[in-house]
Amino acid sequence: MRVGAGREGAKVRVDAGEAATLVTLLTDLLAALQPDGLDAHDPVRQRLFPDGYRDDPASARAFRDLTESSLGAERTERVRRCLAEVSALGDRPAQVVLDDEAGDRWLRVLADLRLAVGTRLGVTEQTDFHDGDGPDAAARSVYLWLTAVQDALVRALMN
């Protein structure tokens, strides 16, 4: 994806392969956000819906009961909108312009995608992304790509 700044907002050029990758990632994230999508103890679910109180299980449960439904609904709506936008691009390269509202939505969804992929990979500050081999090389490439897209989108929206 190539991202640049324009008068109307961020200009994003998406090729067919990138769109297909995004559709897969967004579909997986949408499934994970559903109440029955992932086990409550799944690391991705815990990362997307962290405990509000780490040292007090009863307060953490109460906080989760108060916030998880609305937070999940908000995230689900953002992902659905992004998924619809990417799906509408078809199988040809396309350019879209994201105004501030759409850009904010995409930044939030990209952050959630990075959280999900990064959690599955066990990404930490010490993770070495230069090792191009191994069974998780493709997932690491996707994580780095999402990071680069998010960074470029932030820069374009700031201009």
Is the overall model pTM greater than 0.85, yes or no?
yes
Mean pLDDT over residues 53-74, rounded?
A: 89
On the question of pLDDT at 77 being above 90, the answer is yes
Identify whether the C-beta of residue 89 lies closer than 8 Å to the C-beta of residue 1.
no
pLDDT, tens only, 127-149: 877 776 788 889 999 999 999 99
Q: Where are the domains of the chain?
A: 2-158
Long-range contacts of 73-76 (CB under 8 A, 24+ apart): 75/33, 75/48, 75/108, 75/112, 76/30, 76/33, 76/34
- Beginning with the edge strand found earlier in the chain, give each strand of the sheet holding 2-5 in spatial order: 2-5, 10-14, 94-98
On the question of pLDDT at 150 being above 80, the answer is yes
